[in-house]
Chains A and B, each alone.
Chain A
Amino acid sequence: MSDSIQVEVLYAHPHKADLVKLRLPAGSTLQQAIEASGLLQKRPEIDLAINKLGVFGKLCKADTVLRERDRVEIYRPLIADPKEVRRKRAEDGKVMKKGGGDA
């Protein structure tokens, strides 16, 4: 096995995504990947206390050890409140079409 891993760090806005490819020593963590990507300097609005982290759509802690070809993602908080949206839809008499049913 090689002792370095290839990972990507992604911070996305609609139509402008920052996707940084990195080569890190095996055993690196999410935190190290984000620091190495330089995105904290490039996008000063990232606040690791607010923006949560994850790998391929799953939330992860900053000290999680990365695997080969992982994509570290820096998320942004939601604007809409899911509970509010659900309440509104229930009032309108619409059904949640979970999983893409015809509703």
Chain B
Amino acid sequence: MLSALLVMAALAVVIGGALGYAAVRFRVEGDPLVDKIDAILPQTQCGQCGFPGCKPYATAIAGGEAEINQCPPGGEEGIRKLADLLGREFKPLNAENGVEKPKSVAVIDENTCIGCTLCIQACPVDAIAGAAKQMHTVVDPLCTGCELCIAPCPVDCITMEPVGETVDTWKWHYPVIPIKTAA
């Protein structure tokens, strides 16, 4: 009887110790899957997916609370990458979240801007430089094209301009061969 008790107690101590050691030794910082998903997302922080930013959306995908087809800026390519990463089936973009547009940046019309700072407060990535009653300017390399600054502007001076093709953004196009009609 006593020996049985001792054996059980010793087992509990040994296994408990092993578990405690493993918890410390193999500790995982954060959820690596969330980071992998977040790396695929375009980081526009536009909120079109219904979450307050790319990281919260990544967390929701990892937790199975969101579908992978809710990110319009990521587009079809982004959904394919997410499908590959998670081993899920590819789905077309959910039209409720918006449509895929060419990459654009916001441009402020300098002749109309009244320096009200409302667009600066709306910008999720601090891409607008300016202060009260000073000219507001969009910093192109920082702008993600999320369009969140357009609605707050009281004088409607912000427009979206598609980013032209540069050496950095150029992609190989599908060849188009015109078919001639036989004479």
List B residues 94-135 near A (Cβ within 8 Å): 107-108, 110-118, 120-122, 126, 128-135
Question: Is residue B154 within 8 Å, beta carbon to beta carbon, of the partner chain?
Answer: yes
Known contacts A79-B110, A85-B114, A98-B118, A19 near B135 by CB under 8 Å: no
Q: Are B118 and A77 in contact, with the CB atoms below 8 A?
A: no
Name the B residues within 8 Å of A67 (CB-CB). none
Tally of A-B Cβ pairs under 8 angstroms: 88
Kindly report which residue of chain B lies nearest to residue A17, judged by CB atoms: B139
Write out, one digit per residue, whether chain A residues 56-93 have a CB within 8 A of any chain B CB (1) or not (0).
Answer: 11110000000000010101111110100110010000
Q: Are A71 and B126 in contact, with the CB atoms below 8 A?
A: yes
List A residues 3-45 near B (Cβ within 8 Å): 10, 12-17, 19
Question: Is residue B59 within 8 Å, beta carbon to beta carbon, of the partner chain?
Answer: no
Q: Are B134 and A79 in contact, with the CB atoms below 8 A?
A: no
Question: Is residue B155 within 8 Å, beta carbon to beta carbon, of the partner chain?
Answer: yes
A residues with a Cβ closer than 8 A to B are 10, 12-17, 19, 52, 54, 56-59, 71, 73, 75-80, 82, 85-86, 89, 96-100
